[in-house]
Structure 1
Amino acid sequence: MSRFARVAVYAGSTDGARPEYAEASRAAITELVGRGSGVVYGGGSNGLMGVLADTALEAGGEVIGVIPKFLDDREVAHKRVTDLRVVDTMHERKMLMADLSDAFLVLPGGIGTLEEVIEMLSWSQLGLHRKPIALLDVDGFYQPLVALLDHMTTESFISVDHRKFLISDPNPITLLDTMESWESPKTTRWLQDEDQT
């Protein structure tokens, strides 16, 4: 059984340009649910968001959708999830998803997905959570982001310890195994006195 009761999954609201994105997403979610974890996601029915929700439901998993009212009003919410929670703002959505989850899994996506993963990284750097954040790097999709974060680390804008908050792998099983064994680096806060490290 997984150490994670629930995992927040971030993903695009479109399918992307290649079928590999949906295929890898299905494989990752099937494995995640098979390990006993529930899924928390953005509540949508379109694109990879819909794929991940449908896959989790078909595998018998718990699926909690969190969606802002303005998107629910546009009828993009997934109506078959285990629990659909409608909130007022995007900020509330992200906070509730984080509060409900023990880890974060990032599937391919666009600006919204990128914003979510960067915000969770920022929160981990500030010591607001100690949860693993994992990129499913389908066919190198996230390599530009990984390279940028490595460059920021080389240039001393991100500490070596804080860079360890984000893990990535192209293989869903390997990625989930790494998430399960992940331990938070000793440095868990950005604002920390040097004599306390």
Structure 2
Amino acid sequence: MVHGLLVRVVVKDPAFIDATFVPEFSRLYWHSNAAEKDTLTYELHRPEAADSATDAERDEASRTLVILERYTNAAALKDVHNHSEPFKGFGAWIGEMIGAGNIASVKVEHLEEIAVPKPAADSGEAEKAAADAPAEVVAATGGDPNGILVFAGARPGEAPLYMQHAEEVGQRVAALGRRLVYGGGTVGVMGAVASAADKAGGKVLGVIPAALAPREASGAPVGEVVVVDTMSKRKDIMFSNASWLVVCPGGIGTLDEFFEVLTLCQLNAYRCRVGLLNTENFFGPLLAMMRHLVAQKFLEAETVDALVVRNTPGELFEAMESANDLVAVGFAKNLKW
């Protein structure tokens, strides 16, 4: 039986939340999501005051945080999570903050799952859709396939313009009112994209494998983060949530993701618009290699020609607006998956 927990923390000063609490909570958050296999949910939320709320209620809401926890069973909480070093360290820090007056109160509420039976009869369509979709996709997406997926490196790279352009990409995604979908890291080029989108008021969905969280995530998470156990699940969720792909400078992982999208589109298993942000001619050698593949009859020219390649974020996003999706050509047009 799933065991749940709601922890309600009220601080004295709203500024304490982002300046101190969230950074301190970060290690426990990432450890719980990445290293505890029986932790189903470990999230930090801010309550939203109702439109009819009084000034006092709005003030309390601005000073309140809610930690939502779900475990496969009570033992996963008591015997594993509560005995972890990050939990012990955070618990000691909470005690210090209460003593110093920075935290006004902490209320813990245990939740018992109620088994809800299926309705006696229905059309079966919703049940079939839920069964066909990976659980992580259903939980994370909210049913929005129109995000903008960005592939980018977990390192800043050599040229300063890589990070500058990354920030502009995040800002432009937010300005379009579309959700940024990315690999969930908070460092390097990908982290710059996500942070900029978040600061600009955009929605952000990050998807990160548990094994990569310690390497690619540092500090507080950005937006909504889904932690998965495999790279393939990461890609499944990202692909299902986007109709545009923007590829920024990055390493082998970025190129792997880019070529998987090309492969799926080429085989009629996926379709989206694909743009390369060619900062400092980063993708010039790669494009030359792809043209070589065309010349040697290993690749259709239509696939390369469909790529939108521009040198600046402004030029790229303008061109993407009127671009065509990358689709299968030749025999692959008729493939059914």
Unpaired runs of 5+ residues, structure 2, are 1-144
Q: What residue is the counterpart of 1:97 in the other structure?
A: 238
Residue 38 of structure 2 corresponds to residue 38 of structure 1? no
Instruction: Give secondary structure in 1 for the equivalent of 2:268.
Output: coil
Instruction: Confirm or deny: 8 A CA contact 1:44 1:78 kept in the other structure.
Output: no
Q: Using a 3 Å threshold, how does the CA distance of structure 1 residues 75 and 168 change in structure 2: closer, same or farther?
A: closer
Q: Distance in 1 between matches of 2:299 and 2:330?
A: 9
Deviations 1:37-60 (A, max 9, x none): 210011011111211111011100
Q: Distance in 1 between matches of 2:306 and 2:178?
A: 20
Residue 296 of structure 2 corresponds to residue 155 of structure 1? yes
Residue 211 of structure 2 corresponds to residue 70 of structure 1? yes
Alignment of 1:139-150 (within 5 A): 139-150=280-291
Residue 315 of structure 2 corresponds to residue 174 of structure 1? yes
Q: Using a 3 Å threshold, how does the CA distance of structure 1 residues 154 and 29 change in structure 2: closer, same or farther?
A: same
Instruction: Give secondary structure in 2 for the equivalent of 1:102.
Output: strand
Letter in 2 for 1:110: G
* 1:177 shift after superposition: 1.7
* 1:12 shift after superposition: 0.5
Q: Distance in 2 between matches of 1:6 and 1:24?
A: 19
Q: What residue is the counterpart of 2:328 in the other structure?
A: 188
Letter in 1 for 2:259: I
Q: Which runs of 4 or more aligned residues in structure 1 lie more than 4 Å from their structure 2 counterparts after TM superposition?
A: none
Larger Cα Rg: Structure 1 or Structure 2?
2
Deviations 1:30-86 (A, max 9, x none): 122112221001101111121111101110000100001112356726643221111
Q: Distance in 2 between matches of 1:27 and 1:75?
A: 21
Percent of residue pairs identical? 34
Alignment of 1:16-27 (within 5 A): 16-27=157-168
Alignment of 1:40-59 (within 5 A): 40-59=181-200
Alignment of 1:74-85 (within 5 A): 76=217, 79-85=220-226
Report how many aligned residue pairs link the two structures. Answer: 190
Unpaired runs of 5+ residues, structure 1, are none
Q: What residue is the counterpart of 1:124 in the other structure?
A: 265
Q: Using a 3 Å threshold, how does the CA distance of structure 1 residues 74 and 24 change in structure 2: closer, same or farther?
A: closer
Instruction: Give secondary structure in 1 for the equivalent of 2:280.
Output: helix
- TM-score, length-normalised on structure 1? 0.88
Q: Distance in 1 between matches of 2:150 and 2:310?
A: 15
